[in-house]
């Protein structure tokens, strides 16, 4: 028999982005992803404020920073609000 994957609830990105904006520089766990690639894709989307569904809450580009850590359940994404990006 195949391995059963326990499905995690989807991250509420709008709620997480709003919380981080009111608590600047405090790290918040976004979610844990079973695939490292997925975690890194989400982390990149948060940093760049991509126009994909989950990342649109994190604009403008550069307003958030992320880190990923390997955990027992996969790869966990943490993010924090660092302020408005400066256009360079």
The tens digit of pLDDT for each residue in 18-75 reads 999 999 999 999 999 999 999 999 999 999 987 778 788 998 989 999 999 999 989 9
Look-up of token digits 């979610």: 31
| Residue 58 in domain | yes
What domain range is 44 assigned to?
Answer: 13-81
Does pTM top 0.85 for this prediction? no
| Residue 86 in domain | no
- Residue 65 to residues 55, 73, 88: CA-CA distances in angstroms? 12, 22, 17
| Residue 5 in domain | no
């Amino acid at each position: 028999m195949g391995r059963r994957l326990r499905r995690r609830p989807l991250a509420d990105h709008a709620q997480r982005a709003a919380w981080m904006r009111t608590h600047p520089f405090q790290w918040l766990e976004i979610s844990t992803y079973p695939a490292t690639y997925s975690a890194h894709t989400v982390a990149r989307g948060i940093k760049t404020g991509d126009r994909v569904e989950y990342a649109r809450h994190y604009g403008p580009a550069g307003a958030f920073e992320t880190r990923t850590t390997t955990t027992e359940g996969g790869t966990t994404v943490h993010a924090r609000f660092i302020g408005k990006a400066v256009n360079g």
